[in-house]
């Protein structure tokens, strides 16, 4: 059983999961999935501190990643973070995180990334494949059974990574809607938001689109693939709620997986996407 949290009732680890995107949302998702899958592989395009790197000959580096402003953690999501990674709030405080407005914990992006990498590196069944772009999904009937990845090197060929569950954590630039349309003829409505619709001021840090991808409105959803974080609801790279939303999404995923695997019998991939996308509707700004 992974050591990043307190032991839960014994569940037989089965199958593989793939997380597209190795940022904060992707690592949070990997932390959840490690309790339910035999192997969790994070696919990340940039060179960065990586969790249990499996293979990489990358052609880019972390210097190309924009620096995000401070994140503010609400008391509710701070509790979710603690349940997933016990003691992490104290470690962030020791690294200089400060109480923000109304006792919220406030910190910059890199410290939490560093601590998440360190925590997940100690989890045997979580690895990462860096220097690779996600290039598409693998279809088997009405199910997604893996992802296609393209190493960012000259003359590299697309490779396939089989998985029982693919989690899109690619953020605002996610191509999942395009892949669903091309592979399953599934159309996902995209709602573009104005600054006046947001609960906090508009992002002045970067011109990141404000949008919601309405997967729950799609007439048909393939089994075995979901989205979270900015891939589901993008509110600007500098918006203080981005980390909170990712924690709400991963908390929802964890709850559904726990309900689906009460005796270790394995989750039902054809049901999870619909259950998940309907559940996150109850989260503010989703």
Closest CA to 253 of 8, 16, 6, 25: 25
Q: What's the pLDDT score for residue 49?
A: 59
pLDDT, one tens digit for every residue, the chain (286 residues): 444 554 455 567 789 999 999 999 999 999 999 999 999 999 999 866 566 555 444 444 444 445 555 667 777 788 888 888 888 878 877 776 555 544 566 666 777 888 889 899 989 999 999 999 999 999 999 999 999 999 988 888 999 999 999 999 999 899 999 999 999 999 999 988 665 555 444 433 344 557 889 999 998 999 999 999 999 988 765 555 678 889 999 999 999 998 876 554 556 778 899 999 999 988 866 6
Residue 104 to residue 73: CA distance in whole angstroms = 6
Closest CA to 22 of 190, 209, 229, 214: 229
Written in H, E and C, the secondary structure of the chain is CCCCCCCCCCCCCCCEEEEECCCHHHHHHHHHHCCCCCEEEEEECCCCCCCCEEECCCCCCHHHCCCCCCEEECHHHHHHHHHHCCCHHHHHHHCCCEECHHHCEEECHHHHHHHHHHHHHCCCCEEEEECEEEEEEEEECCEEEEEEEEECCCCCCCEEEECCEEEECCHHHCCHHHHHHHHHCCCCCEEECCHHHCCCCCCCCCCCCEEEECHHHCCCCCECEEECHHHCEEECCCCCCHHHHHHHHHHHHHHHHHHHCCCCCCCCCCCHHHHHHHHHHHCCCC
Going across the sheet that includes 132-140, the strands are 132-140, 143-151, 159-162
Q: What's the pLDDT score for residue 105?
A: 65
Q: pTM value?
A: 0.84
Half-sphere exposure of 106 (CA within 13 A, CB side): 11
Half-sphere exposure of 45 (CA within 13 A, CB side): 17
Q: What's the pLDDT score for residue 162?
A: 97
Residue 89 to residue 81: CA distance in whole angstroms = 8
**Cα-based distances in Å from 142 to 18, 193, 195:** 18, 31, 37
Q: What's the pLDDT score for residue 89?
A: 78
Kindly report the number of other CB atoms within 10 A of residue 25's CB atom: 28
């Amino acid at each position: 059983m992974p050591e990043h949290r307190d032991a839960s009732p014994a569940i037989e680890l089965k199958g593989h999961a793939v997380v597209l995107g190795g940022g904060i949302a992707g690592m949070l998702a990997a932390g959840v999935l490690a309790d339910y899958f035999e192997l969790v592989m994070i696919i990340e395009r940039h060179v960065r501190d990586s969790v249990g790197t499996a293979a990489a000959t990358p052609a880019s580096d972390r210097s190309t990643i924009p620096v995000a402003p401070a994140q503010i953690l609400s008391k509710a999501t701070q509790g979710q973070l603690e349940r997933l990674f016990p003691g992490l709030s104290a470690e962030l405080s020791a690294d200089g995180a400060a109480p923000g407005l109304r006792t919220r914990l406030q910190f910059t992006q890199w410290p939490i990334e560093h601590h998440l990498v360190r925590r997940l590196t100690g989890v045997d069944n979580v690895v990462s494949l860096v220097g690779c772009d996600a290039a598409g999904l693998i279809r088997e009937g009405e199910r997604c059974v893996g992802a296609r990845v393209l190493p960012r090197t000259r003359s590299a060929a697309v490779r396939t990574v089989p998985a029982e569950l693919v989690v899109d954590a690619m953020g605002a630039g996610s191509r999942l809607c395009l892949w669903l349309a091309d592979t399953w003829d599934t159309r996902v409505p995209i709602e573009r938001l104005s600054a006046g619709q947001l609960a906090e001021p508009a992002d002045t840090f970067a011109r990141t689109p404000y949008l919601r991808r309405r997967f729950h409105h799609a007439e048909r959803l393939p089994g075995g693939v979901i989205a979270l974080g900015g891939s589901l609801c993008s509110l600007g790279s500098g918006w203080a709620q981005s980390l909170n939303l990712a924690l709400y999404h991963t908390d929802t995923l964890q709850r559904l997986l726990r309900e689906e695997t009460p005796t270790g019998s394995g989750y039902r991939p054809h049901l999870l996407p619909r259950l998940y996308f309907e559940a996150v509707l109850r989260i503010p700004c989703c």
